[in-house]
């Protein structure tokens, strides 16, 4: 099963200024990504630009409503994510606990609902 | 699938059916003794599907009524129920064509690990499954109230209405809580297994805390039917005994069992004739359950023996709390209580698990050992910090010490403050009685 590790944390001034030029990946994060890869559970992962760069879109009564900033005003914002492929929640929690973000922020672990492709559906119907 | 036929099963006796009462008693006994362990095994067989396992087990109990009447009570009812329920679960899956793939997987797995009915009943397998079940039910990814409900429902075999009644919540609320918990187990894929050694401390904490909460709900709660509450205490003790039995090397499992037994031994003496709570010093200690105390002290010894065998400090909060309860249990007259030892134990407890409540208890022990003035100084410090501002036992304890120091008007004021904060009927009656005495 795939799990998304959503990395929440308070943004530092440094983060704010970091948008623009490609930042260097801090060693702890590099190490962590390598650990996930070595374990064979790494599926995807990206860091997000600071929340000051976020724009939110809503559609209400067919009207598009664009506002600046993240969806909610909280101190902890989503800063990045990983997607890991694990057998069960305990494995995903272990991966989350090793994430450098867990040391200053928090990691929300959410299972990803696997949508069966139409081909797969047909195949299983035929089998039954 | 045919019903399992253990070798020892008596021949059918169609001509002379056993009396139904006997069958009913056998089924009740099987439910009481084996519901949790059989369910635990079924959940494993069914790949962690709690609902399918519960449904199949209900079917099996219904079938037992008829089959046992006809063929006689099987030698090992738990094994019979496990096999019957497993067969029914497989039948159900077969009927559901959309689950064809799942069936194939299950049948493959079952062929690999084909289990004869008698083997299903062997203690080792069942014990392992019960551990899997309790660790899954008490997974920290589930909310605490759901852990309690799920543990009581599955391992304890309590019905949803019974649990709802015990916790004073609406049946629909409790049912919803169970549904949500099972959905999370399924959707987040909480594994059905005993945690690895490095995870064990954290995970065991949650299991022990859940059992302790069940007990406290039965022992301390402010209202509800006495019979239901006693049932919760008994269930918590049963669960603690299972865990101590299954993890004998972990000192705290014995510590929790000892604590529950020693607290429960005072249950009869805890309530005075008028329904008010009798304080420890006022309790008629001849009403303490000596047999239960004996079992509690034995569990305590096993806990310290297990702790002695470990390299790191492994005397935890339950062993310490049980030791405090044991100090009281050892003195039948209540006058020879070693309050100095109790104060030391509270001090050790506050190092592991610092809390203002522990400090409050330590102050009360010091007051007993060194006199009310010494205790009052500590309580005043505690009150000055304001941490227990809304906790009725702080003014109640201060009132008691002020009363013993002869400072009656101050004591009365504190009793009034405690009364304003307490919503427990029995405790309120006690406080009112003391208030009247103080004003006397």
pLDDT at B269: 87
pLDDT classification of B100: cutoffs 50, 70, 90: low
Structure tokens at B294: 């004996």
- The per-residue pLDDT for range B78-91, each reduced to its tens digit, is 999 999 999 999 88
Residue B63 structure tokens: 């079938």
Q: What's the pLDDT score for residue B426?
A: 73
**Least trusted range by pLDDT, from A5-14, B14-23, B167-176, B322-331:** B14-23
pLDDT > 90: percent of chain B: 56
Residue B44 and residue B94 in contact, taking contact as beta carbons nearer than 8 Å: no
Average pLDDT over residues B333-350: 90
DSSP state for residue A114 in the 8-state scheme? -
- Structural contact between residues B38 and B89, judged by C-beta atoms closer than 8 angstroms: no
Q: What is the pLDDT of residue B108?
A: 63
The pLDDT confidence band at residue A93, using thresholds 50, 70 and 90, is very high
Confidence (pTM)? 0.78
**Contact across the interface for A88 and B191, Cβ inside 8 Å:** yes
Q: Which residues contact B110 (CB under 8 A, 6 or more apart)?
A: B45, B90
Whether residue A1 lies within 8 A of chain B, CB to CB, comes out as yes
Under 8 Å CB-to-CB from B103, ≥6 apart: which residues? B90, B93, B94
Section B44-69 average pLDDT: 92
Among B104, B139, B191, which would you mutate to test the A interface (most chain A Cβ atoms within 10 Å of its Cβ)?
A: B191
| Nearest CA among B200, B206, B204, B208 for reference residue B240 | B208
User: Does residue B110 have a pLDDT over 70?
Assistant: no
Q: Does A120 touch chain B (CB under 8 A)?
A: no
Burial B346-376 (b: 16+ CB within 10 A, else e): bebbbeeeeebebbbbbbbbbbbbeebeebb
B-chain residues near A90 (CB < 8 A): 190-191, 193, 195, 199
Total beta-carbon pairs less than 8 A apart between chain A and chain B: 30
Provide CB contacts within 8 A for B236, sequence distance 6+.
Answer: B211, B212, B214, B215, B218, B260
Q: What is the pLDDT of residues B186-240, one digit of tens each?
A: 999 999 988 988 888 889 999 999 999 999 888 876 555 666 678 889 999 999 9
- The predicted structure's pLDDT at residue B389: 83
Whether residue A93 lies within 8 A of chain B, CB to CB, comes out as yes
A88 touching B, CB under 8 A? yes
Q: Which of A87, A89, A124 sits opposite B141 (nearest CB)?
A: A89
Residue B185: pLDDT over 70:
yes
pLDDT of the residue at B76: 92
Q: Tokens for B65?
A: 């009524």
Mean predicted confidence (pLDDT) in B144-173: 90
pLDDT tens, residue by residue, B381-434: 999 988 888 888 899 999 999 999 999 999 999 999 999 998 777 778 888 988
Contact (CB<8Å) A89/B101: no
| pLDDT recorded at residue A22 | 64
pLDDT at B127: 60
For chain B, say whether A27 makes contact (Cβ under 8 Å).
no
Partners of B195 on chain A (C-beta within 8 Å) are 90
The answer to whether residue B171 scores a pLDDT higher than 60 is: yes
Model confidence pLDDT, tens digit, residues A30-60 = 999 999 999 999 999 999 988 888 888 888 8
Alpha carbon of B253: minimum distance to chain A alpha carbons (Å): 23
Q: Which of A1, A88, A127 sits opposite B101 (nearest CB)?
A: A127
Closest chain B residue by Cα to residue A94: B199
pLDDT value at residue B297: 97
Give the H/E segment covering residue A64.
strand A63-68
Q: Judge: B97–A128 Cβ closer than 8 Å, yes or no.
A: yes
A124 Cβ under 8 Å from any chain B Cβ = yes
Q: Which residues contact A112 (CB under 8 A, 6 or more apart)?
A: A1, A2, A3, A4, A83
Q: What is the pLDDT of residue B371?
A: 94
Which chain A residue has its CA at the smallest distance from B203's CA?
A: A90
Q: Are B369 and B339 in contact (CB under 8 A)?
A: yes
- Percent of chain A's residues with pLDDT above 90: 51
Residue B311: left (phi > 0), alpha (psi -120 to 50), or beta?
A: alpha
pLDDT band at B182 (very low <50, low <70, confident <90, very high): very high
Asked if A111's CB is within 8 angstroms of B141's CB, the reply is no
- CB–CB contact B98 A93 (8 Å): no
A88 contacts B189? CB cut-off 8 A: yes
CA distances from B339 to B345, B365, B371 (A): 10, 6, 11
Q: What is the model's pLDDT at position A116? A: 60
Identify which of A88, A124, A128 has the shortest CB distance to residue B190: A88
pLDDT at B437 over 80: yes
Name which residue leads in pLDDT, B275 or B393.
B393
Among candidates B25, B23, B27, B91, which has minimal Cα distance to B55? Answer: B91
Kindly list the distances between the CA atom of residue B198 and the CA atoms of A94, A100, B15, in Å, as whole numbers in the listed order. 11, 20, 59
What pLDDT score was predicted for residue B13?
47
Nearest CB to B100 within list A87, A88, A127: A127
Residues of A in contact with B199 (CB under 8 A): 90
**CA-based nearest distance A78→chain B, Å:** 21
Strand, coil or helix: B235: helix
Rounded average pLDDT over B370-390:
91
Chain B residues bordering chain A (beta-carbon distance below 8 Å):
97-98, 100-101, 139, 141, 187-191, 193, 195, 199
SS3 state of residue A77: strand
Return the pLDDT at B251: 95
């Amino acid at each position: 099963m795939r799990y998304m590790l959503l990395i929440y944390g308070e943004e530092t001034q440094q983060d704010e200024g970091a948008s623009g030029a490609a930042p260097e990946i801090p060693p702890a994060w590099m190490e962590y990504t390598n650990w996930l890869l070595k374990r064979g559970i790494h599926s995807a992962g990206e860091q997000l630009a600071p929340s000051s760069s976020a724009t939110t879109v809503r559609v209400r009564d067919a009207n598009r409503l664009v506002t600046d900033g993240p969806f909610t005003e909280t101190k902890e914002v989503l800063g990045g994510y990983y997607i890991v492929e694990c057998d069960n929640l305990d494995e995903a929690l272990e991966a989350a606990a090793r994430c450098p973000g867990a040391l200053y922020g928090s990691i929300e672990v959410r299972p990803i609902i696997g949508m069966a492709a139409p081909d797969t559906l047909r195949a299983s119907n035929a089998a039954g | 699938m045919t019903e399992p036929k253990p070798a020892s099963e008596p021949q059918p006796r169609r001509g002379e059916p056993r009396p139904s009462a006997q069958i009913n008693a056998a089924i009740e006994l099987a439910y009481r003794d084996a519901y949790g362990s059989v369910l635990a095994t079924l959940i494993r067989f069914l790949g962690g599907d709690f609902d399918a396992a519960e449904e199949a087990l209900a079917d099996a109990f219904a079938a037992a009524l008829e089959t046992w009447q006809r063929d006689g009570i099987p030698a090992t009812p738990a094994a019979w129920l496990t096999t019957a329920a497993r067969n029914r679960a497989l039948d159900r899956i077969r009927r559901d064509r959309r689950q064809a793939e799942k069936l194939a997987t299950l049948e493959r797995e079952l062929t690999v690990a084909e289990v004869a009915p008698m083997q299903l009943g062997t203690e080792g397998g069942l014990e392992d499954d019960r551990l899997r079940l309790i660790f899954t039910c008490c997974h920290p990814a589930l909310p605490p109230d759901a852990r309690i409900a799920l543990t009581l429902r599955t391992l304890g075999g309590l019905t949803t209405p019974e649990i709802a009644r015990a916790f004073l919540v609406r049946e629909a609320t409790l049912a919803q809580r169970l549904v949500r918990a099972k959905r999370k187990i399924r959707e987040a894929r909480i594994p059905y297994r005993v945690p690895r050694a490095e995870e064990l401390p954290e995970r065991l904490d949650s299991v022990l805390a859940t059992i302790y909460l069940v007990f406290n709900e039965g022992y301390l709660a402010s209202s509800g039917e006495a019979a239901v509450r006693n049932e919760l205490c008994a269930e918590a003790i049963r669960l603690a005994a299972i865990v101590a039995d299954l993890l004998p090397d972990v000192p705290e499992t014995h510590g929790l069992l000892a604590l529950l037994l020693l607290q429960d031994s005072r249950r009869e003496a805890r309530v005075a004739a008028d329904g008010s709570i009798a304080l420890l010093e006022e309790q008629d200690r001849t009403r303490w359950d000596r047999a239960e105390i004996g079992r509690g002290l034995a569990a305590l010894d096993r806990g310290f023996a297990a702790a002695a065998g470990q390299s790191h400090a492994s005397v935890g909060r339950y062993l310490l709390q049980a030791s405090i309860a044991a100090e009281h249990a050892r003195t039948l007259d209540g006058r020879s209580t070693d309050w100095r030892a109790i104060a030391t134990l509270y001090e050790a407890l506050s190092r592991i698990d610092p809390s203002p409540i522990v400090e409050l208890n330590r102050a009360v022990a010091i007051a007993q050992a060194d006199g009310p003035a010494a205790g009052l100084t500590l309580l005043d410090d505690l009150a000055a910090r304001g941490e227990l501002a809304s906790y009725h036992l702080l003014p109640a304890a201060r009132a008691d010490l002020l009363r013993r120091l002869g400072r009656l008007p101050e004591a009365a004021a504190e009793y009034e403050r405690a009364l304003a904060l307490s919503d427990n009927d029995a405790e309120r009656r006690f406080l009112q009685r003391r208030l009247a005495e103080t004003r006397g």
